[in-house]
Amino acid sequence: MFFKNIYENGLAQASYLVGCQATGDAIVIDPRRDIDIYLEIAEKENLRITHITETHIHADFLSGSRELQAVTGAKVLLSDEGGNDWQYQFDHTGLHDGDTFKVGNLKFDVIHTPGHTPEHISFLLTDTAASSKPIMIFTGDFVFVGDVGRPDLLEAAAGYKGTREIGAADMYESLKKFTALPDYVQVWAGHGAGSACGKALGAVPSSTVGYEKLVNWALQIDDKDEFIKQLLDGQPEPPKYFAMMKKLNKVGPEILGGIPHPARMNLTQFKSAVDKNIMIVDTRDKLSFAGGHVPGSLNIQDNTAFSTWAGWMLNYDEPFLLIAPEHRIEELIKKLIRIGFDNVYGYLPDMDAWANTGYELEVLDQITCSELVKKMERNNTQVIDVRGEAEFNSGNIERAENIHVGYLKENIDRLDKNKDIVVHCASGDRSSIAASYLKSIGFNNVINLTGGYSAWINECGKKSNQNELAVN
């Protein structure tokens, strides 16, 4: 048996390629949209991708099942569980609880495991050439290392009212199927630490049923009502793009036929696009952006969180420009198409050339913790903490207001244009997004707190206490 875990750090998403080396047949589980990696692995290992499957209709990334099927001709096997509202709407072979299918000598038993979503299924794998006993289970967003899938996304992100408690109750029952499995069975989940599909995912890539029974918090609670309460409590804010992912993955994503490559723009073309008010996404680091950027630009740094924050801040029906070096464009495009953003208008690789030509640059004002203390004493400052609610509740600057960066648009009326608005997060990445967004819509009184809440704790905690600006 050949086995490969393909992990994408940006979305903390795992997909799997499993092959029977005796027959050369292989299956891909939960593929992402940029499928070149699966084709490369299969070719290297002398395997044919004959089957493609998914654990559920994903909310956090755009599935590559249709893309991969178009290239390989493989059979697409998808859940037909969960009722009429939760059915895939493109051609596939349906799977139900108790079904079995084979890929060469590899046997997959289908287990319906609702909770995260009503149609969710897991796959119990047996390598029949080696043993009659199962070797691993692919749990998708059912059981993670140290956590279980959140049941509130359908309501919180996709607008399906009244599904939170139903999903939590389903999860409680589904876990009984998991704990009934042999302790030695390996657990390979759909996500790792950093995913918004749970609240306490571990960073270790795999586990076993037995170990999860010992340490997974969700498997320690016997009372159903208490389980539901704890499962729903403290879940992170779901990115806005999740609703679009649900929709597109249900009806079937558009087939790209390859990685798109946007146009490299010269300065004249870029200036023309700027004059048309096309959104600019500046992917440089926050310090470079603060030092000088095209007015109206949105700063989403080129790091592991790029996909997530693009999903929070960009619109699917509006084109946008990228500012990024040539050697990063292909990877950034992959990050974007993984969540369905196919609308890149073009890119500018060299900000120095723009600046040297004399075009206007805007700076993002910064403030230190000690300067903020003095400002707050004069009562002419509004402090906006753009972290998540759970982070804010665990400790915050007194008198700061909590507005998650992704919810600024809906809360603009809470901002006071007559005061200086100081935004901060934990260390400065999210606040740079927030500040750049606010400046792009006309808030010229925005200042970024250098180093964020971490700097406040480390540098100004004692001083702020003396000035009755204590850290809660």
For the question of residue 369 being annotated catalytic, the response is no
- Residues 93, 77: contact at Cβ < 8 Å? yes
Residue entry with tokens 């939170």: 164
For residues 343, 56, 54, 211, the Cα torsion angle rounded to the nearest 10 degrees is: 120
What superfamily in CATH does domain 2-251 come from? Ribonuclease Z/Hydroxyacylglutathione hydrolase-like (3.60.15.10)
The CA R_g of the chain, rounded to the nearest whole Å, is: 24
> Helix %, strand %, coil % for the chain, to 5?
35, 25, 45
- In CATH terms, are 2-251 and 267-356 the same topology? no
Q: Where are the domains of the chain?
A: 2-251, 267-356, 366-466
Q: Class of the 267-356 domain? A: alpha beta
Sheet containing 93-95: order of strands:
2-8, 13-19, 25-29, 48-53, 75-79, 93-95
Q: Concatenated DSSP letters for 285-338? A: -HHHHHH-B-TT-EE--SSTTHHHHHHHH--TTS-EEEE--GGGHHHHHHHHHT
- Residues 321, 348: contact at Cβ < 8 Å? yes
End-to-end Cα distance, the chain: 54
**Mind listing the pLDDT tens digit of every residue in the chain (472 residues)?**
999 999 999 999 999 999 999 999 999 999 999 999 999 999 999 999 999 999 999 999 999 999 999 999 999 999 999 999 899 999 999 999 999 999 999 999 999 999 999 999 999 999 999 999 999 999 999 999 999 999 998 887 777 788 899 999 999 999 999 999 999 999 999 999 888 888 888 889 999 999 999 999 999 999 999 999 999 998 989 999 999 999 999 999 999 999 999 999 999 999 999 999 999 999 999 999 999 999 999 999 999 999 999 999 999 999 999 999 999 999 999 999 999 999 999 999 999 999 999 898 999 999 999 999 998 888 889 999 999 999 999 999 989 999 999 999 999 999 998 999 999 999 999 999 999 999 999 999 999 999 999 999 988 764 444 333 433 3
Residues 6+ apart with CB under 8 A from 38: 6, 15, 17, 28, 31, 49, 64, 68
Q: What is the pLDDT of residue 461?
A: 65
8 burial via Cβ count (<10 Å: 0-12, 13-18, 19+): buried
Helices then strands, each counted (H, E), the chain: 17, 23
Closest listed residue to residue 326, CA positions, set 305, 353, 308: 353
- Residues 290, 432: contact at Cβ < 8 Å? yes
What backbone phi and psi angles, to 5 degrees, belong to 102?
-120, 145
What does the block give as tokens for 199?
């609240």
Q: Class of the 366-466 domain? A: alpha beta
Q: Please, what's the b/e burial string for 245-283 (b: 16 or more CB within 10 A of its CB; e: otherwise)?
A: bbebbbebbeebeeeeebeebeeeebbebbeeebbbbbb
Sheet containing 106-112: order of strands:
100-103, 106-112, 121-127, 136-140, 186-189, 206-208
C-alpha to C-alpha distance for 158 and 384, rounded to whole angstroms:
27
Q: What is the pLDDT of residue 247?
A: 94
Closest listed residue to residue 302, CA positions, set 322, 285, 315: 285
Residue entry with tokens 């509004």: 382
Q: What is the pLDDT of residue 200?
A: 82
- Residues 20, 48: contact at Cβ < 8 Å? no
Residues 6+ apart with CB under 8 A from 174: 112, 113, 114, 115, 120, 142
Q: What is the pLDDT of residue 450?
A: 94
Q: What is the pLDDT of residue 379?
A: 81
C-alpha to C-alpha distance for 110 and 123, rounded to whole angstroms:
5
Q: Which of 20, 197, 369, 425 is catalytic?
A: 425
